[in-house]
Amino acid sequence: MRYAAFLAGLSALLICGSAVAPFDVQNQPHKTTPLILEKNEGERRVWRPLEGVQGLPSLFILKVDPRNGGSSHLVFGTEDLPVGGRIDAHRHPTSDEILFLQNGFARVSVDNKVREVHAGATVFIPADVRISAVNLGKEPIHLIYVFSAPGFDEFMRAESVREGEQAVPLTKAEDAAILAKHAHAVVYEEPLK
């Protein structure tokens, strides 16, 4: 009898606990939605180039975040880093990050540690620690990234367009304004050139 009462109480706690809606980035209640996504499914986006900077367009897919699935706790996605492409030196003040290389060969710098890594490598970047990387291989690197808290996803949206839309270059002033607005989520060490 006590066990049945315990289970009834536990069930009530779980039901009540799950009735509390998480909040999105704008502090509005939202509903979490389970997702099952294939490799190429999700919010497909392309980085906008910086005016006057040469570089190849890079595709990324936001798979889970406050807007995709309604997660208030993490961001998950994928990105293709082109041959010779780089992740410029930056840090995330309030979020841990994990990068997983599905293939390829890269030089990664985390804090003061530099290492060449290969397919299957995992890179853990604690909050407020510097990260940079460059693709040293002969093929695009397929990266998986996870952030322990939302924030960088909105910066990514601000500096990109949906796949298929025209990726008009960002002016230095637009880039500076976006960086200032999202300084809680990302800080680049030196201005991009």
Give the pLDDT band of residue 21 (cuts 50, 70, 90).
very low
Please state the pTM of the whole predicted model. 0.81
End-to-end Cα distance, the chain: 71
* Model confidence pLDDT, tens digit, residues 91-115: 999 999 999 999 999 999 999 899 9
The residues near 109 (Cβ < 8 Å, ≥ 6 apart) are 89, 130, 131, 132, 133
Burial class (CB in 10 A: 0-12, 13-18, 19+), 72: middle
Residues listed for the chain: 193
Asked if residue 131 lies in contact with residue 90, where contact means CB atoms within 8 angstroms, the answer is yes
Contact 1, 43 (CB under 8 A): no
Ordered by where they begin, the domains of the chain are: 30-188 (2.60.120.10)
pLDDT digits (tens, 9 = 90+) for 32-56: 999 999 999 999 999 999 998 877 6
Q: How is residue 149 annotated by DSSP? A: S
